[in-house]
Structure 1
Amino acid sequence: MRERDRDDESLEDTQEMSGTDLAVYEAAAALNVADRPATVGEITGMTGLPEETVRHCLDSLVGGGRLVPRGEAYLLGPHDWGLSY
């Protein structure tokens, strides 16, 4: 399997994310749906997680291609599904 194919598969399977990563991702997605980039402070407030944990999760989600950093904020990475909140 090509490297790109493995990356695409991992992005499709949200079951591969930890519960904490999923909570951070969902908070970022909710903000992005409202046309707002997600900041660490907003995600921390929405999830109740410690800032250090949120930052660790964001790093993991960026590394996996699920989020894209934009300055001090985060946007959803490429995906082929819709969101509604």
Structure 2
Amino acid sequence: MYDANRDVQTMSLEDNTVYEAVAALATDGHTAHTADVVHMTGLPEEAVRRSLASLAEKGAIETRDGFHSLGPHDWEVEY
């Protein structure tokens, strides 16, 4: 079933940038740390934290103790 909250095409540019950074950093079961996402995106830390919280609320990513991974999805990530 289609879920607009998980459709990357409906995300803001900032959320999409952060989501892509998490996807790139969190491959093969690894997780992305908030500081790594800040470094990779070049966005201010507060903007990244806000975006990560929004993405987690939508179920696009999962967050635990400052580490982030992709939420459930039905596609493969190749980076």
Give me the TM-score of the superposition, normalised by structure 1. Answer: 0.84
Distance in 2 between residues matched to 1:12 and 1:50, nearest whole Å: 24
Displacement after TM superposition at 1:80 (Å): 0.3
Displacement after TM superposition at 1:13 (Å): 1.9
Aligned to 1:66: 60
Distance in 2 between residues matched to 1:26 and 1:67, nearest whole Å: 11
The equivalent position to 2:34 in structure 1, one of 40, 43, 48, is: 40
Aligned to 1:13: 7
CA RMSD of aligned residues (A): 1.5
Instruction: Give unpaired runs (5+ residues) of structure 2.
Output: none
Structure in which a larger fraction of residues adopt helix: 1
Displacement after TM superposition at 1:11 (Å): 4.3
Give me the TM-score of the superposition, normalised by structure 2. Answer: 0.90
Distance in 2 between residues matched to 1:11 and 1:79, nearest whole Å: 12
SS in 2 for 1:75: strand
Percent identity, please.
43
Structure 1 residues 53 and 12: alpha-carbon distance in aligned structure 2, compared to 1, 3 A threshold: closer
